Amino acid sequence: MKKTLVIIPTFNERETLPKVIGSILKREGFDVLVVDDGSPDGTALLVKEMMSEGGRISLIERPGKLGLGTAYVEGFKWGLERNYDYLVEMDADQSHDPDDLPLIIKQMDKGPGLVIGSRYLNGTISVVGWDFRRLLMSKFGNFYASRTLGLLFTDLTGGYRCFSREALMSIGIDKLRSNGYAFQIETAYRVATAGIPVGEVPIIFRERASGESKMSKKIIREAVILPWKLRLGRLFDARNSGASRDIPYHFRTITGFLMTFAGITGGLRLGWWLSTERNIIDILHEFKLGLPAWAWVSMKIGLSAFFAALFLSLVFTAVIAVFAGGGQRGKKE
Ligand SMILES: Nc1nc2c(ncn2[C@@H]2O[C@H](COP(=O)(O)OP(=O)(O)OP(=O)(O)O)[C@@H](O)[C@H]2O)c(=O)[nH]1
Ligand SMILES: [Mg+2]
């Protein structure tokens, strides 16, 4: 059996962490590494108590909250140095069920370098306890990232997943800079673009049982910017190295970026102009005095239709830009 390390980053998770570790260790072949960022609630102390019970738990203590991404990078390095074959990412808040581990490992044994535990496989939504807004945000975020990057996986932002040591070594984990959702998107993208197969298995995700969420506006902003950063970065890499001759792909990158940019900024500007600049309305009202009623009504209808069409076309350009992402496809297992 392959040597597997389950890495759990923690910040104030003392309520749930012991249960999570307990159910991982019920199984043979799994060791646990907790990467704690100086949790004020004493999560690390709790881990130390559990460590005395046996040798399968380890702990990295960091001085303060340095982010999910860097916690995983440290965990990966620790595991690679100790010759683990598989390195699993798991949350401490009981959102991820340790009972899903055997399924993920079984899929890994078929050869991919990354297996993502997906909440959205086969058109289903396997999430318990989210409100509609949270679900919509997650679904849209996944759609946006997967279309922009042309990676046809169902759950790019999912944080329950397993990497092979070979995959981690070939993506260069020292280069990873992102945190939160962006970290999950970036690692999946780097594995897929390295030509390493990626698989997905269905999992059920439960909203955290207790404790506080660490989601922030910054984490969301990072995840919105990252897909375009990666995609444009590929364009510059190709130009610098002269390696890629995939002109249609780069053409779609440029048009897609410009259209998304124009769609979003144009839409915002139009909305701003319509709501603040009153001059055009004044001019129309002066004009109205010299017109028969029927002409005025038809002109109003015409103008409304014009603005509606303009607005819709801006929205559509943004949507088309997102669809223009195709081309670079990840391999599905
Ligand atoms: N070491 C470390 N762990 C973190 C940090 N931020 C989040 N985590 C841990 O990463 C895991 C996922 O974070 P969550 O806050 O559950 O994020 P989420 O699952 O997107 O959101 P909720 O479940 O709604 O809270 C948890 O185990 C957190 O304790 C951090 O800066 N450092
Ligand atoms: Mg969580």
Cβ of 138 less than 6 Å from ligand 1: no
Please tell us whether the domain made up of 4-233 is placed in CATH 3.20.20.30. Answer: no
94 alpha carbon to ligand 1 midpoint, in Å? 11
Radius of gyration of the chain (CA): 25
Residue 233 has what pLDDT?
86
For a pocket test of ligand 1, which of 91, 183, 206, 222 has the largest count of ligand atoms closer than 8 A to its C-beta?
91
Q: Which ligand is nearest to the CA of 130?
A: 1
163 alpha carbon to ligand 1 midpoint, in Å? 19
For a pocket test of ligand 1, which of 20, 68, 134, 181 has the largest count of ligand atoms closer than 8 A to its C-beta?
68
Closest residue by CA, ligand 1 atom 5: 68
Report residue 300's pLDDT band, with 50, 70 and 90 as the boundaries. Answer: confident
Q: Give the amino acid at 120.
A: Y
89 alpha carbon to ligand 2 midpoint, in Å? 12
Cβ of 177 less than 6 Å from ligand 1: no
Residue 15 has what pLDDT?
95
Closest residue by CA, ligand 1 atom 11: 91
Span 35-80, pLDDT tens digits: 999 999 999 999 999 997 778 999 999 999 999 999 999 999 999 9
Report residue 97's pLDDT band, with 50, 70 and 90 as the boundaries. Answer: very high
Report residue 251's pLDDT band, with 50, 70 and 90 as the boundaries. Answer: confident
Are 63 and 34 in contact by the 8 Å Cβ rule? The answer is no
Q: What is the mean pLDDT of the chain?
A: 86
Round to whole Å and give the CA distance between 39 and 61: 9
Say yes or no to pLDDT of 116 above 80: yes
Average pLDDT of the residues in 129-143? 90
Cβ of 10 less than 6 Å from ligand 1: yes
b/e burial code for range 303-326 (CB count within 10 A of at least 16 → b):
eeeeeeeeeeebeebbeebbebbe
Round to whole Å and give the CA distance between 332 and 126: 20
Round to whole Å and give the CA distance between 160 and 24: 14
For the entire predicted model, the pTM comes to: 0.81
Average pLDDT of the residues in 196-219? 90
Round to whole Å and give the CA distance between 69 and 130: 24
**Residue among 83, 79, 111, 94 nearest 19 (CA):** 94
Cβ of 92 less than 6 Å from ligand 1: yes
